Amino acid sequence: MVGREVGVSMTSTGTEASAAGWDEARLSEQFDATIAKDQRIEPRDWMPDGYRRTLIRQIAQHAHSEIIGMQPEGDWITRAPSLRRKAILFAKVQDEAGHGLYLYSAAETLGADRAELTDALIEGRQKYSSIFNYPTPTFADVGVIGWFVDGAAICNQVPLCRCSYGPYARAMVRVCKEESFHQRQGYELLLTMMRGTDGQRAMVQDAVDRWWWPSLMMFGPPDDDSPNSARSMAWKIKRHSNDELRQRFVDMTVPQAEKLGVTLPDPELSWNEERGHHDFGTPDWSELQRVISGDGPRNVERVSRRRAAHEEGAWVREAATAHAAKQAARTQETARTQKTEGAAA
């Protein structure tokens, strides 16, 4: 939480509220009114426990996704085939670490603790976006991830810039502004490759064929299978349904694919004049289920890499803490000595 409340002890929401003479019904009304007016709920505001818990879980999973998402592309920094691409990719992956940090920071304003969230990720109690459980076997995958995965993330994140919880909305604004370069760099790489050698063009088409369906699955199960969505929408921590966002992504991406000269691997993809949208095939939802429940191609690797970094880094973090404590003690000792000498003088 940001700051400690002066004069009031940190007790549960209900106790504080009644101590101050406000009853829960009144507070709940205020909360609902704030949301209805499209205004922000801030860390110090009263909020229903369900709202707090849902937000912590959603923000944490978003943060975990950024951190885990560093891995599939991070692997390619050392092998990027030009210095310019190397720098771009290094900067992009660095941004992802930064995004994870902004989001953990937002979750902490709700009373979560980053170390506990990290444990939850490593122990499999909290999830991250299923898309990062797929492998990146070629450099073209870097381009396609930028185009599809960052594209899908942007579809999801831009509406969240108006979500009801202030710190999350503000984190999203910062993330979106930085992410504008992420999608563009991916697409630009693909443009370059598609104008290049036969080998490069084949690499791009192959990557597109592998990433298209998983990217559609990023938006989650169909609306009918998303029981929690309604409540999140009422609280304005979800602004559009899974299917709405998925449709939006398809409509955006089809013309981009045409410009690129690649085919999207869906024979049912076609413009529907009546609806004003593209019709598309049904993703294999059983695959999404499998990947979410831990059975994707890279689930084990992603989590163990995060665990290894965290565990191997423990001695470093401990050393920093120990040094800080020693410094504080030395400073106190010096102050005490000076005081004594001053008194004696």
Partner 1 sequence: MTQDWPLYEVFVRGKRGLNHVHVGSLHAADDAMALTHARDLYTRRNEGVSIWVVRSEHIAASTRDEKDPFFAPSADKVYRHPTFYDIPEDVPHI
Partner 2 sequence: MSDDHVYLSLAEGHDDSDARWAFGTGFEDPLHGVDQTVPEGTDSAQLAAFCLALGDDALVSAQRLAQWCTAAPELEEEVALANIGLDLLGQTRLLYARAGQVDGTGRGEDAYAYFRDADDFRNVRLAELPNGDFAFSITRLLVLSSWRLALFERLATTASDPVLAAIAAKGVKELAYHRQYAAEWVVRLGDGTEESQRRTRDALAAIAPYVDELFADDGELRTEVLAVLRQVTDAAGLVLPEVAPVPGHGRDGDRTEHLAPLLAELQSVARAHPEATW
Cα–Cα dist 118/113, whole Å = 9
Task: Name which of residues 292 to 311 contact partner 1 (CB under 8 A).
Answer: none
User: According to the binding rule CB under 8 A, does residue 175 interact with partner 2?
Assistant: no
138 token code pair: 């070629």
For residues 26 to 65, the per-residue mask of contacts with partner 1, x marking binding by CB under 8 A and - elsewhere, is: ------------------xxx-------------------
| Through-space distance between the first and last CA atoms of the chain, rounded to whole angstroms | 45
Instruction: Tell me how far, at minimum, the Cβ of 171 lies from partner 2, in Å.
Output: 13
CA distances from 268 to 69, 245, 248 (A): 30, 19, 17
Give the separation between CA 118 and CA 65, rounded to whole angstroms.
12
The neighbouring-strand residues paired with 41 are: 165
For partner 2, the closer of residues 128 and 139 by Cβ is 139
Query: Which residues lie below 8 Å from residue 60, measured CB to CB, with a gap of 6+?
Result: 103, 104, 107, 112, 117, 120, 121, 126
Footprint of partner 2 on residues 66-85 (CB under 8 A)? 67, 70-71, 74, 77-85
Is residue 5 within the footprint of partner 1 (CB under 8 A)? yes
Q: Segment 198-217, which members bind partner 2 (CB under 8 A)?
A: 199-200
Site string for partner 1, 134-173 (x = CB under 8 A): ---------------------------------x---x--
- Decide which of partner 1, partner 2, none touches 83; Cβ closer than 5 to 8 Å per partner kind: partner 2
- Residue 115 in the binding site for partner 1 (CB under 8 A): yes
| The one among 120, 252, 257, 292 contacting partner 2 by CB under 8 A | 252
Residue 165 CA: distances (Å) to CA of 40, 52, 72:
5, 10, 30
Q: Min. distance of Cβ 335 from partner 2 in angstroms?
A: 19
CA–CA distance, 56 with 107 (Å, rounded to integer): 5
Q: 89 with 73: CB under 8 angstroms?
A: yes
Instruction: Tell whether the torsion through CA atoms of 199, 205, 208 and 213 is positive or negative.
Output: negative
Q: Which among partner 1, partner 2, none contacts residue 305 (Cβ within 5 to 8 A by kind)?
A: partner 2
Q: Toward partner 1, which CB reaches closer, 95 or 301? A: 95
**Residue 11: which of partner 2, partner 1, none does it interact with, CB under 5 to 8 A by kind?**
none
130, 120 Cβ separation under 8 angstroms: no
Binding flag, residue 324, partner 1 (CB under 8 A): yes
Query: What are the structure tokens assigned to 31, written together?
Result: 């909360």
* CA pair distance 107, 1, nearest whole angstrom: 9
Residue 239 main-chain phi, psi, to 5 deg = -105, -20
What is the C-alpha separation between 207 and 201, in angstroms, rounded? 10
What are the phi and psi torsion angles at 270 (to 5°)? -160, 150
Q: Which of 28, 57, 75, 101 binds partner 1 (CB under 8 A)?
A: 101
**Minimum distance from residue 155 beta carbon to partner 2 (Å):** 7
Q: Among all chains, which residue has been given the structure tokens 């499998």?
A: 290
Q: Does 16 participate in binding partner 1 (rule CB under 8 A)?
A: yes
| Under rule CB under 8 A, residue 225 binds partner 1 | no
Binding site for partner 2 (CB under 8 A): 67, 70-71, 74, 77-87, 90-91, 93-94, 97-98, 100-101, 104, 139, 154-155, 158-159, 161-162, 173-174, 176-177, 180, 189, 192-193, 195-197, 199-200, 240, 244, 248, 252, 305-306, 308-309, 312-324, 326
Binding site for partner 1 (CB under 8 A): 1-8, 16-17, 20, 22, 44-46, 94-95, 98, 101-102, 105-106, 108-109, 113-116, 118, 167, 171, 174, 178, 314, 317-318, 320-321, 323-324, 327
